[in-house]
Structure 1
Amino acid sequence: MQRRELLRLLAGAGATPWLASLLHAGEPTGWQADFEASDAPWKIGFDTPPADLPEAAATVRGRFPDAVAGTLYRVGPAGHDLGGQRYHHWFDGDGMVQRFAIEGTTVRHQGRYVQTAKRLAELRAGHRLTEAFGTVLPGVEPATSADAINVANTSVLPLAGELLALWEGGSATRVDARTLDTLGLKTWRPDLAGMPFSAHPKVDPDGTVWNFGVGARQGLLALYELAPEGALRRAAVLPVTDLPMVHDFAVTERHLVFLMPPLVYDDKGKPPGTSFLDAHAWKPELGMRALVVDKKDWNRRRMLTLPAGFLFHVGNAWEEPGPRGARIHVDYVRSDNADGVFTTNRELMRGRRVRSPGPHLTVAMLDLGTGRATQEVLPLDAEFPRIDPRRVGLRHRRVVHATQVTKERPGFAAVAYTNVETGRSQRFVYGAQAMVEEHLLVPDGRGPGWILGTVLDLVQRKTVLSCFAADRLAAGPVAQAVLPRALPLGLHGMFSPA
């Protein structure tokens, strides 16, 4: 009998507590054992680095343009297992910030875990202590606050000389932009301590930062307005009936726009030990509600309704005058339902591929004059939409996004640059053995700009950073940097020019 099975039997028979501690001492159990048994080559993107990744030079082919001289920051879940136990959802992993310093023919990389209070306490204990977004492991305690389970793993925001590592449900975490040292939680105002500051802030062309936070249990939506230098200008909390899981939003010149899928917090009748994710219910009868808030007066709000669907990400929004009121155009990535949140992003943690309804690039029009909302779903699978940052809230035409879902593995095989008005798209296909991450558009005052992003190359078992001319994406990269290692697959990033 294997040692792991023996320990399980003894623990089940009521053996002494030291046996339970042995179960946390590195012996893989349950999902961790499944993950280790998987022969899927793509599972390297969901491995747990045992420690920080020291600075290392990449091998560069070509030359990165002067416009992309600077730093690309990325973050994502990386700490998936501890003490032989593995999280049951990709989004639960402890965050690791990646820093790519780019200059011409040189790219240097380092990666560091965000040392949240949660991570430090669990490292000391040698096992998980609290429940997570999508996982409740045996013996863990309920969260005492949102920041007690804050993993700082979703996005980043360079602001006022620092880097903020962002998560859905709690405070932003301050990180040194050069060393990636963790500096502690960001508190915008004493009475806002611990309030959710979400992972997709929007930066207006004048530098104003807008953000939100969702208090699902309380049905409260927090709103934030920050000055370009990072000082808080305004914050307020608004009640919203049937407040759903909202990951992203959009801004226009005059409005904040929230597309709210019918995935609503509802823990009635749920057994003890239900995860926060599983306390949500899919209620398609609500439709996809669009909440539009006036930027100047947050008490002026409108609610419109689109057909039911699910989304994580919004590309951009802009508005134009209509006969009876403003008409807001917003592009987003739509799925028919939320199955992927509950299945696909869970089974990754076992090293299993489970397909869910593919997300498609979608363009909606919200007519504030008539109260009518319509949309067109483009025949183009997509995720991680990004635009020219100078066009946030303004009329835009093109969106950079991942595309080309594959049957063999999770994720996407190509990056695309799509005109959302005509539907015409150009793309570069990395190939069947690459897993495409988010790509950004970096402006260049002398031309159409550059597309910059990472992929996990499964043949080389290394992460590759590529740069393309935005108007010649299909021609392939003008420069690539091959790292000496494979990085955990991440979520979002920001570019900071030199």
Structure 2
Amino acid sequence: MLFPSPRAASAAPPAAPAWLNGFRNLRREHGFELLRTEGTLPDDLSGTLFRNGPGLFDRFGERYAHWFDGDGAVTGVRFADGRARGACRVVQTVGLQLERRAGRRLFGGWNTPPARPFRELLLGDGKNPVNTHVLLYQGRLFATCEGGLPVELSPDDLGALGETDLDGVLVHAFSAHAHRVPARRASYNFGARLGPKTELTVYELPDEGRPRRLATFAVEGARVLHDFIATERHLVFVFAPIYLQLWKMLLLRRGAMDASTWRAERGTEIVIVPIDRPSDPIRMKVDAFLCEHTANAFEQDGTLVFDFIHYPTLDALERFVGSVAGGAVRGPLGGSLRRGILDPVRRTLRLEARLPLPVDMPRVSPRVDARPHRYIYLTGYSAPSHDGMSPWDAVAKLDVERGSLERYVPGPDQFPSEAVFVPRSGASAEDDGYLLTLVYDARADLSHVAVLDARSPSGGPLARAFFDHPVPFGFHGAWMPAERPG
């Protein structure tokens, strides 16, 4: 018989990283209540920051297998008259309510295995966690996720009002990342239906009037698509060679990511939909890569230019996002910022490095949506030498013209989220505004919103508004300006 050495027997297990507590269930749900503030909130910061992300990471003693599988929780921080009020609520979806009544998990997710494979995969009886983003449309607030229809929320208290198909317009699903094109006074999005072919329906959501289905097309295989590209004249859908093997989910009860394959030899497929001729898409294939998030896009000399987060393979993303919520990170974040220059006539794509550092969650000022931009705001790390084996600990501002980079680093064991840009009242410059980032302080086990001057975020926060509890690590957010009198 073999016995462990005395040293091995006495060795303590490795301590859990401090940031792991950011992946716990939301501790307290509440409506808008006054938040403690430090510093001076800008007088012209008037409106509400809404953010979305997983709020429940385990159900009935069972931990979800992936960060992306948690049930959505929306956070709101309302700024007015130099004060901040905050609210947090788990979105009460139909699936979540069914599980609560059953007292057990009934659904799978991104990589949590299906609980009832035939019902979930063949009958479409899955759970829509609406845990990814929020959509502000015609004064209404929606929680979104590509797993189903949007769920409308009350902007007053974040209470769920139920799923909506927008008066019968939406079919199958509605993705998380709608993109607004100000020149058209409309936003655009898509929804996908998986099967032997993946069918995409493209939607136009005008600032006024009814939404409509703009186009429908299909690509071979059961495919995954998270974000897309919007310019003033074109919508671009970039399909990485990720193929879901539904039979593995059905017969082997594997989660979607464990049942997927990366087929680099098939290349990345690009479908370009002209907004004014949506029935005439342009198709092309290029060398394999994954376009995860788009910062912005515009048209220039007959080409479509887009800055985006580039992953060379699915594994470069999944080894981080698929393990970070468990605390034992399998690999560093493998995304970097690149520029794509797409020629729809010659059907060519050229990629250029923009920031060869691990970054994600890119945002620009809404003043430059679908137009040329100079600045991109990202989440990243406090130093180029950072190992990238933890959640982001810095917000970065990149000047894409000069290549200069500055960072806001909240401090040790503090982890910011995607920075949402709010234009300053009367602003004329692209970076004249504020950045709002929700920060988890692992030492205090509390979260706060930091208000940064977008012109110089490295100068530190103008003010901070503190919740009296932690808010779990989330994904994306949006700003709803306050209604102005008259």
| TM-score, shorter chain, exceeding 0.5 | yes
Asked whether the equivalents of residues 417 and 439 of structure 2 are also in contact (C-alpha less than 8 Å), the reply is yes
Match of 1:370 in 2: 346
Question: For residues 308 and 77 of structure 1, what CA distance do their matches in structure 2 show?
Answer: 30
TM-fit CA distance, 1:311: 3.1
* Aligned residue type for 2:278: W
Question: For residues 482 and 191 of structure 1, what CA distance do their matches in structure 2 show?
Answer: 40
TM-fit CA distance, 1:88: 0.5
Match of 1:227 in 2: 206
Equivalent residue of 1:478, what SS? strand
Match of 1:165 among 140, 143, 161: 143
Q: Does 1:136 align with 2:113?
A: yes
Match of 1:429 in 2: 409
Question: For residues 162 and 344 of structure 1, what CA distance do their matches in structure 2 show?
Answer: 34
TM-fit CA distance, 1:54: 4.5
Q: Does 1:350 align with 2:326?
A: yes
Match of 1:68 in 2: 45
Equivalent residue of 1:481, what SS? strand
Residue 192 to residue 495, structure 1, CA distance change in 2 (3 Å): closer
Match of 1:261 in 2: 240
Q: Percent identity?
A: 30
* Aligned residue type for 1:476: G
Q: Does 1:41 align with 2:22?
A: no
Question: For residues 160 and 57 of structure 1, what CA distance do their matches in structure 2 show?
Answer: 27
Residue 118 to residue 38, structure 1, CA distance change in 2 (3 Å): farther
Match of 1:109 in 2: 86
Match of 2:153 in 1: 175
Map 1:263-342 to 2 at 5 A.
Answer: 263-267=242-246, 271-321=251-301, 326-342=302-318
Question: For residues 124 and 37 of structure 1, what CA distance do their matches in structure 2 show?
Answer: 38
Match of 1:204 in 2: 181
Match of 1:21 in 2: none
Asked whether the equivalents of residues 363 and 420 of structure 1 are also in contact (C-alpha less than 8 Å), the reply is no
Match of 2:364 among 387, 398, 408: 387
| Structure 1 residue runs without a partner (length 5+) | 1-35
Asked whether the equivalents of residues 85 and 127 of structure 1 are also in contact (C-alpha less than 8 Å), the reply is no
Equivalent residue of 1:390, what SS? helix
Question: For residues 30 and 159 of structure 2, what CA distance do their matches in structure 1 show?
Answer: 13
Match of 1:17 in 2: none
Match of 1:127 among 104, 111, 123: 104
Q: Does 1:419 align with 2:419?
A: no
TM-fit CA distance, 1:160: 2.4
Asked whether the equivalents of residues 147 and 173 of structure 2 are also in contact (C-alpha less than 8 Å), the reply is yes
Residue 310 to residue 38, structure 1, CA distance change in 2 (3 Å): farther
TM-fit CA distance, 1:197: 0.6
TM-fit CA distance, 1:249: 1.0
Deviations 1:160-211 (A, max 9, x none): 2321110112111111111111111111343744x21100001121530100
RMSD: 2.4
Map 1:26-105 to 2 at 5 A.
Answer: 39-49=16-26, 52-105=29-82
Asked whether the equivalents of residues 20 and 327 of structure 2 are also in contact (C-alpha less than 8 Å), the reply is yes
Equivalent residue of 1:460, what SS? coil
Question: For residues 267 and 137 of structure 1, what CA distance do their matches in structure 2 show?
Answer: 11
Bigger shift: residues 224-233 or 93-102:
224-233
User: What is the aligned residue count?
Assistant: 458
Deviations 1:388-422 (A, max 9, x none): 11221111121111111743852211111112233
Match of 2:465 among 461, 481, 484: 481
Asked whether the equivalents of residues 250 and 393 of structure 1 are also in contact (C-alpha less than 8 Å), the reply is no
* Aligned residue type for 2:324: L
Asked whether the equivalents of residues 88 and 135 of structure 1 are also in contact (C-alpha less than 8 Å), the reply is yes
Question: For residues 401 and 470 of structure 1, what CA distance do their matches in structure 2 show?
Answer: 12
TM-fit CA distance, 1:103: 2.2
Match of 2:162 among 184, 188, 206: 184
Equivalent residue of 2:380, what SS? strand
Match of 2:337 in 1: 361
Equivalent residue of 1:78, what SS? strand
* Aligned residue type for 2:307: D
Asked whether the equivalents of residues 332 and 387 of structure 2 are also in contact (C-alpha less than 8 Å), the reply is no
